[in-house]
Chains A and B, each alone.
Chain A
Amino acid sequence: MIEPIKPPPRKNPLLRTRLPASPPRPRSRISHGFTRAAAEGRFMLQCCAACGSFAYPAREACPSCLSAGLAFVDAPRRGTLLAETTARVPSDVYFRERAPWRIGLVKMDCGPTIVTHLHADCAEGAAVRMSLQLDKSGQAVAFAHPEGETPNMADDKQWREMTADPKFRRVLVTNGRSVIGQEVVAALKAAGAKTVFVGVAEPWRPFAGEKLLRGQDGIEIVTLDAADEKSAADLAADIGGKVDILVNTTEYVRPGGLLDRRGTSTARDEIDQAYLGFINLAQAFGPAMRMRGADGISNSAAWVNILSIYALANWPAFGAYSASQAACLSLSHCLRAELRPGGVRVMNLFTGPVDTEWFQTVPPPKVAPRAIAQAIVSGLRGGLEEMYVGDVAEEIRQRLAANPKALERELDR
C-alpha cells in the first residue's frame, strides 16, 4: 500500500540543496537494445530467430542454440516475482541515499529470469507486469509493476525515480500564445502540477485564449520571449530555481524551402525562434535544473521538446522549417547529455502536421493540439524519451527506417 505523496513544504533555506547522484552507467553496446525500447516505452527482449527462445540479459548469441540471430523484439510483459530482497545499506551513493531499495527476480512467462527494480506493491509469488525504464543515468533498467491497479501506485518512491510526473511539480510552458501551449497548460494543471508558469512574448500583443489563462489559479503568466537572450535570462533570474519541468512549446512554422523564398529573413526568424530560442532557454534554465535533480518531491525532472517529424526527413513544402527542426533535434541530444548528471530527462515528442493555422492547407490527418498535450503528460508519467504522436509521425518514422531514399523521393511531391 502506497502512501500518497504530499505537496512539498517550502524549502528550509538553512539546508543545503542535495546534489544529484547517478545510478551506475556502464552498459554493453548490445544492451542498448533495451535503452531504445525504454526510450519509447516498449518492452523488448532478444528473441532467437533460429529457435524462438527469449534471452536475458542481452547477449551476442542465443544461450539455447548459439545462433547469432538475436534481435530485440516486443515481448510479452507478464511474469512472476520469484524472490525479492531489500538493499538497506548499498555501497553505491545513489542507492545509498534512497535506501531501503527493493529489487527482485522475475521469471518471465516467455522464459528468461530478470533482475528488476520493484514497485512497492509487488508481492513475492504474485504475477507482475514488466516494463523497461530509463533510470536517472538515462540507462535502461527493468521495472516490475503489480499486475493490476493499486491505490496511489504512481506515487511509489522507486517508480518516481523512473518518471517525471507533473503532480505537485512546477512547470514552465515557454509559449502560451499558441493553441498547443494553452492545451499543454490545461493538461498539466489537470495532471496535478502545482504551478504552471506560462511564457508570453510581446505581452503588448493580445492573443486568443488570454482571458482563460489569466483567470485560473496556479497559472502564472510570465513575460518570456525565448528568442531573446535577455528575456530568457531575466525570467530565469526570477523563477529558474522553481522550474521542475520545462515544456518548450516554441512554434514557428512557415511554408517554403529555398528557391521560392526571397532572402533569408524568414529562415533567420525560424532559426531565431526555434534554434536560438532553444539555446537561450537551455542556457537560462538548464544549469539550475541540472543542479536541482535531487531536490525532494518537486525536484527538477524533465525537459520536453515538441519537434516536427520532418526533423528526421526534410519535407520540401516546409523545407526550411524542417531544417530548423533538424537543428533542434540535434541540439536536444546535446542537452540530454548535459542534463544527464542532474538526472533530468529530455523527452522529444515528434508530430506530423498539427491542426493549427500554418498547416491550414495541408490535408488531414493532422494532429490535434490536445493530443500533443495529453501525450506530453503520459510521456512524463511513463518516463519516456521519444514519442511519436499521430499517424503521420509514426508512418514517417517507419518509412525512414525501411528506406530513407524512398522516403526522400516520396516527400518531394
Chain B
Amino acid sequence: MQSNNLLELASAISSGAVRVVDLTFTLSPDFPVIVLPPEFGQAAPVRIQEISRYDGRGPAWYWNNVTFGEHTGTHFDAPIHWFTGKNLPNNAVDTMPAKDMIAPACVIDCSAQAAQDPDFLLTVPLVEAWEAKHGRIPERNWVLLRTDWSKKGWRDYANLGDDGAHTPGPNPAVMKWLVEERGVIGFGTETIGTDAGQAGHFEPPYPAHHFLHGAGRYGLQCLCNLDQLPATGAIIVASPLKIQNGSGSPLRVIALVSSI
C-alpha cells in the first residue's frame, strides 16, 4: 500500500466513511470467566484497586492497580496457550508477527440457530452454505462466529448447568477444515472460549484450541457487536499486550468497516 492510500484511510476514518466498531467488552470484575474444576489452577479474576483518586494518597491524580488472568474479558489466545502449539516458533503474544494483528474477517451469522439451541455447533456444510452466498473464505482471514450471545445477561451468557456450560461453538470437523482447507488466521466467538461449552466431550476435546493453536493460528473470544459487521470486508485489529512469553491477553479489538 502506498502512503497516500494510508492517509486516505485515515481521512475515511475521520470522516466516518470507514466506521470503527468496538468489539470489546469492558474489562470489569463482574464479567464471567472460564470455569474449571476447583482443583485446577484458576484464572485470577479482574481486580481494580485504586492507588489514589485526587485524595490524600495522591492529590492531583487518579490511577489504579489492576490484576487479571491472561484469559479474562475480551481476550486473545496465542498458539502457546495449547499443548498442540507449544513447540511452534514465535507462538507467544510477545513473539507473534505484528502483521498478524491486522486481518480481514468473514462473519458467519448463526444467531438464529444459537437462539434455538444453546449447544448449537457450526459445521462444514453450514460454512459451505455461507460460502455459496458470500464467496470462498480467503486465506489468512479471521472467521468470526456471530451468535448474539454477547447480548445476554451474565448468567445466561455463562449458562452453567450441572453438566457444564451450554454455549455454542464449532464442531471438530469444521475447525480442522477451516485451518487446513481455508487457512484461516484465527477464529473468534462471542462466548467464553473459542470452543463450545460442552467441547470437553468432543473428539478431540476443545477442537478450536486443538486445531487453531496446533497450526499457529489465533483465537478471539468474548467479542461483542459482531452484529454490526458485514459478512465480508471488515478489517480486524487485534493486538494483544506484549506479555513476556504470554499465552494470551485481554485486549481492545476493533473492526474497520466501510460505510459505503
Contacts and interface: CB of A to CB of B under 8 A. Distances in A.
B45 interface: yes
B32 A202 contact: yes
B41 interface: yes
Interface stretch (A155-163, A203-211, A301-309, A313-321): A203-211
A403 to B, nearest CB: 36
Interface stretch (B54-62, B109-117, B153-161, B218-226): B153-161
Contacts of A231: 29
B73 to A, nearest CB: 14
Contacts of A113: none
Interface in B42-63: 42, 44-45, 47-50
Nearest to A204: B154
Interface stretch (A98-106, A172-180, A263-271): A263-271
A59 interface: no
Q: How large is the interface on B (under 10, 10 to 19, 20 to 34, 35 or more residues)?
A: 10 to 19
Interface in A201-239: 202-206, 225, 227-231
Contacts of A205: 32, 35, 158, 160
A205 B164 CA distance: 11
A382 B41 CA distance: 42
Contacts of B153: 204
B44 A230 contact: no
Contact of A230 (B32, B42, B48, B160): B48
Interface string B156-179: 011011000000000000000000
A266 B44 CA distance: 10
A203 B154 contact: yes
B155 A204 contact: yes
Nearest to B154: A204
Q: How large is the interface on A (under 10, 10 to 19, 20 to 34, 35 or more residues)?
A: 10 to 19
Interface in B9-26: none
Interface in A226-259: 227-231
A230 B158 contact: no
Nearest to B157: A204
A203 B29 CA distance: 12
A118 B12 CA distance: 85
Contacts of A228: 29, 45, 47
A229 B42 contact: no
Nearest to B43: A265
Nearest to B158: A204
A265 to B, nearest CB: 5
Contact of A229 (B41, B44, B49, B161): B49
Interface of B: 29, 32, 35, 41-42, 44-45, 47-50, 153-155, 157-158, 160-161
- The 10 tightest CB contacts between A and B, nearest first, are A204-B154, A204-B155, A204-B158, A228-B29, A204-B32, A229-B49, A265-B41, A206-B160, A228-B47, A205-B160
